């Protein structure tokens, strides 16, 4: 059980999952989270590259239970140059635009996730009154390793950011690429277009850019693949884990080959 000193400095509600989700989102937006590799950079500070934005968007998908996709289509990272300039710029104007995006898009997605969770979050009694001995007063939202105290979301988060990390580096041969494609099934909770493997491996340009593709063109292709195919499926996976109404992810809708 938490000590008196700890209780005075840390207030946790009887529904601690809500406090943990709030702390997760605070790190996503304002503080960053360097417990993860690659780390989650805080949204308000901006990003150095589009790849960093993609990494952040994936983390946001998990920590908003997919609601970020309802406010901000991942495809905008490929088709909206002004948006990308605002996200990666270091000028005062870019910072102002990020604040507007935060207010109009990101915060509403975070609130939608909170409202979704509050309908499912269990209210607990102090440990001495709980049959399993769990005491919500012992929970430290800043140290909880599972997003919203959901172990399944922690596993999903790890699989997704590892999938992106493997994609960035490319693959040494076709078998390695196909193993990665197979690993996308649990990383997307089955939301990925089931034909994506066949479509990519049948396309010479795709194979060239995925396998031993060290050129700038290959790197850009892999980023477009992540944005157009993976991110929408990642968001759908996070939504389905939360128990939301899952719809068929249209992973090809904004995807341009080549």
236 pLDDT higher than 90 = yes
Q: Where are the domains of the chain?
A: 4-242
Predicted pLDDT at 50: 97
Longest dimension (CA), the chain: 65
Number of neighbouring beta carbons within 10 Å of residue 226: 24
Answer with the residue of higher pLDDT: 134 or 180.
180
Contact 204, 213 (CB under 8 A): no
SS3 content of the chain, % helix, strand, coil (to 5): 65, 0, 35
Q: What is the pLDDT of residues 65-103, one digit of tens each?
A: 999 999 999 999 999 999 999 999 999 999 999 999 999
Structure tokens at 25: 């989102």
Q: What local confidence, expressed as pLDDT, does residue 13 receive?
A: 62
Q: Look at residue 202 and tell me whether its pLDDT is greater than 80.
A: yes
Contact 187, 237 (CB under 8 A): yes
d(CA 241, CA 229): 19
- Is the model's pLDDT at 6 over the cut of 80? no
Q: Measure the CA–CA gap between 256 and 258, rounded to whole angstroms.
A: 6
Q: What is the pTM of this model?
A: 0.85
Question: What's the whole-number average pLDDT of the chain?
Answer: 85
* Structure tokens, 133: 């001995």
Which tokens is 174 given?
């076709």
pLDDT of residue 121: 64
Residue 204 has pLDDT above 50, yes or no: yes
- pLDDT over threshold 70, residue 30: yes
Q: What is the pLDDT of residue 139?
A: 62
Determine the Cα–Cα distance for residues 56 and 153; give it in Å rounded to an integer: 16
Average pLDDT, stretch 146-154? 88
pLDDT surpassing 90 at residue 142: no
């Amino acid at each position: 059980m938490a000590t008196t000193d700890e209780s005075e400095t840390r207030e946790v509600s009887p529904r601690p999952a809500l406090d943990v989700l709030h702390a997760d989102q605070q790190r996503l937006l304002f503080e960053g989270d360097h417990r993860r590799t690659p780390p989650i950079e805080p949204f308000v500070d901006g990003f150095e590259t589009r790849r960093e934005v993609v990494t952040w968007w994936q983390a946001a998908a998990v920590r908003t239970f997919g609601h970020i996709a309802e406010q901000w289509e991942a495809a905008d990272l490929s088709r909206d140059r002004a948006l990308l300039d605002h996200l990666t710029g270091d000028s005062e104007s870019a910072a102002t635009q990020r604040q507007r995006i935060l207010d109009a898009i990101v915060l509403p997605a975070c609130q939608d996730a909170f409202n979704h969770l509050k309908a499912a979050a269990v209210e607990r009694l102090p440990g001495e009154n709980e049959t399993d001995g769990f005491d919500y007063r012992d929970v430290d939202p800043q140290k909880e390793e599972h997003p919203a105290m959901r172990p399944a979301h922690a596993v999903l988060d790890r699989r997704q950011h590892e999938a992106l990390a493997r994609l960035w580096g490319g693959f040494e041969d076709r078998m390695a690429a196909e193993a990665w494609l197979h690993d996308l099934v649990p990383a997307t909770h089955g939301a990925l277009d089931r034909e994506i493997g066949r479509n990519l491996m049948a396309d010479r340009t795709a194979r060239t850019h995925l396998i031993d593709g060290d050129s700038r063109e290959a790197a850009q292709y892999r980023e477009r693949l992540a944005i157009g195919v993976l991110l929408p499926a990642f968001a759908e996976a996070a939504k389905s884990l939360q128990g939301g109404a899952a719809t068929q992810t249209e992973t090809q809708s904004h995807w341009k080959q080549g």
